[in-house]
Amino acid sequence: MKRCLLCLLILVLVCTLFGCSFLLPLDFMDMPQLQEVQIEGITYRTGFYQGCHLTQDVTSVEAHGNTDAGYEYSVVDGTPFDLIWALEYGFYGMGAIYCRQDQFDAAAAYYDDPDNYDYKLFEGNPADLDEDPEYPMPGLDMEKYWALMEFENAFNQGTAPSKEAVLYNVPLKNGERYAGEYYFQEISNDGNFVKNYGRRYRVADGKLVMVASYGVKNGTVEVVDVPKELSDYFLQFFGT
């Protein structure tokens, strides 16, 4: 068991250093130790925010009190639900958010609804979200956005239409690993949760390309062309 935990911690450290957090499912980083907690006899449950992970804004909140079991918790503000963040539960110090049991289904539906998210584009390393410059996407065509995400997911799964895409290498911008590299984030309207599909994008030879491999070789990174229709549309948002 100790050997497994050591290997896991080494994997997390490597992913943190090299920006490959996509190797771990997002929910895994927030995997709670307890599915339920009680505060003054009221039950709170976690697991309603599938596919999301906590934002730094939540994890920096000071404690408000203790659960009935004696663990610290904080009240999560700015949300339509009664949520708490249990500070001592979870993997890698992130904790987990719990919802009042009688609001669980409504909260799950809310955070699963794409209309309850802001869609943002950043340049840099996702590990530095708070510091990376943001590029606005006014009037974003959601059909094209989801088409790009479908292309991304198809590439990840090795299915059509991206499985026959040609891979090639492009040079790093100014020789820096994350310079000129962009990523999308879906941030819940209350700012408490974020979704990230994990792939990053670059502009090369006047077209949008998706980073296919996160390793760097001889000052280059491996990419694949984004379908032309999507490339032509999204280029307007990318700073070059």
User: Please, which residues bridge with residue 44 across strands?
Assistant: 37, 100
Q: How far apart, in whole angstroms, are the C-alpha atoms of residue 3 and residue 11?
A: 12
The pTM assigned to this predicted structure is 0.73
User: Residue 194: CB partners within 8 Å, gap ≥ 6?
Assistant: 52, 53, 54, 55, 129, 185, 186, 187, 188
User: Please, which residues bridge with residue 217 across strands?
Assistant: 220
The confidence score (pLDDT) of residue 63 equals 73
The confidence score (pLDDT) of residue 1 equals 40
Q: Rounded to 5 degrees, what are φ and ψ at 6?
A: -65, -45
User: Residue 180: CB partners within 8 Å, gap ≥ 6?
Assistant: 123, 172, 173, 174, 202, 203, 240
Q: pLDDT tens digits for 60-86?
A: 677 777 888 777 888 888 899 999 988
- Least-confidence region, from 12-26, 92-106, 148-162: 12-26
User: Residue 4: CB partners within 8 Å, gap ≥ 6?
Assistant: none
Domain boundaries, the chain: 20-112, 117-237
177 or 91, higher pLDDT: 177
Match 């006014």 to its residue by tokens: 138
Q: pLDDT tens digits for 135-182?
A: 889 999 999 999 999 998 888 777 655 556 788 888 888 777 777 889
Q: How many residues does the chain have?
A: 240
Q: What burial class does residue 160 get, using C-beta atoms within 10 Å of its C-beta: 0-12 exposed, 13-18 middle, 19+ buried?
A: exposed
Q: pLDDT tens digits for 23-47?
A: 333 443 444 457 888 898 999 999 8
- Taking all residues of the chain, what is their mean pLDDT, rounded to a whole number? 78
CA distances from 1 to 7, 13, 92, 105 (A): 10, 19, 17, 36
The confidence score (pLDDT) of residue 60 equals 67
Per-residue pLDDT band at 21 (split at 50, 70, 90):
very low
Match 């799964």 to its residue by tokens: 157
